[in-house]
Amino acid sequence: MTENGGPAGPDLSRIAVREPPPPKAKRFYKVVSVDTQGDQHRILLDGRPVKTPLKKTLDTPHRALAQAVADEWQAQKTEIDPVAMPLTRLLSTSIDRVAMERPAMMQSLLAYIDTDLLCYRAPHPAVLKQRQAAVWQPILDWLEATHGIGLTVAQGVLPVSQPTSAGLAAAALLAQLSNDKFTALQVGAAATGSVGLGIALAHGHLNAAEVFAASQLDETFQNETWGEDYEAMERRRRIEAEVAAVGRFLALISSK
């Protein structure tokens, strides 16, 4: 279970042996540019279009996003570091996975509603309970008032099944999203452990910093009480960077 008593996913921290990361590819190009054909903007390396992992053209109808992705490629030095290219990864995911696997991805996303971080509150101590209520409850209230997604709050270790109406409302909301915005919501939800926070970020109700802070409320309290270790700090940094990248991706696809 999580620190606030809610259900938890698999404990990846228990995996003692990890495969070394694959070697990075050498930078093989000199000039990065953006080419426009009709309403699509594609990224070129020495005049050749960048391909996604599934060999599709990396393009987008959003000029600002295309330029930002091109900037990521330009920023690479002697080696190409995918970790330093979050916008490229998000756009590739939208093209390769979401465009092809969206129904299955939506069902997986909806299944996480029953374990949404915002719905599991600590029975104690009182100060943590107060923080959770002050930060998380307004988000749940907004979800219900704006999108009809009424989620039930639980305390302690027992999981709660959310109302069918909440799932139907969430499904209707997700169905309306573009592939790019769906990608952002899905990645945001995975990073924070909350579909509700993913929706709030995708719809501009909260910005990336606010979403990250809400997702880390329990961890922040624990750190204040017991101090922060190196592994926890690194994990928080990764989540913060992921959420920030999603926030930037959303801003770029919303710009004219």
The model's pLDDT over 98-117, given as tens digits with 9 standing for 90+, comes to 999 999 999 999 999 999 99
- The reply to whether 173 and 194 lie within a common domain is yes
Q: Lowest mean pLDDT: which of 17-21, 144-148, 223-227, 241-245?
A: 17-21
Pick from 15, 45, 80: which residue ends a domain?
80
- The reply to whether 200 and 247 lie within a common domain is yes
- The reply to whether 64 and 92 lie within a common domain is no
Query: Would you say residue 234 lies in a domain?
Result: yes
Query: Would you say residue 6 lies in a domain?
Result: no
- The reply to whether 113 and 207 lie within a common domain is yes
Q: CB-based contacts of 114: which residues, under 8 Å, 6+ apart?
A: 159, 160, 161, 162
Take residue 33 and report the two structure tokens written for it.
């540019």
Q: What is the pTM of this model?
A: 0.88
Domain of 73, CATH number, reads 3.30.2180.10
- The reply to whether 162 and 235 lie within a common domain is yes
Pick from 45, 80, 115: which residue ends a domain?
80
- The reply to whether 50 and 110 lie within a common domain is no
Mean pLDDT of the chain: 92
Query: Would you say residue 3 lies in a domain?
Result: no
Cβ atoms within 10 Å, residue 242: 20
Pick from 58, 80, 102: which residue ends a domain?
80
Question: Quick one: pLDDT at residue 229?
Answer: 85
- The reply to whether 99 and 202 lie within a common domain is yes
Q: Structurally, how many domains does the chain consist of?
A: 2
- Residue 139: phi and psi, rounded to 5, are -70, -45
Q: How far is CA 238 from the centre of its chain?
A: 11
Q: Which residue's entry shows tokens 């930037």?
A: 248
What are the distances in angstroms from CA 197 to CA 1, 117, 224? 20, 9, 23
Nearest to 203 by CA among 214, 189, 217, 193: 189
Q: What's the domain range around 226? A: 87-254
Nearest to 150 by CA among 202, 113, 178: 113
Question: Quick one: pLDDT at residue 15?
Answer: 39
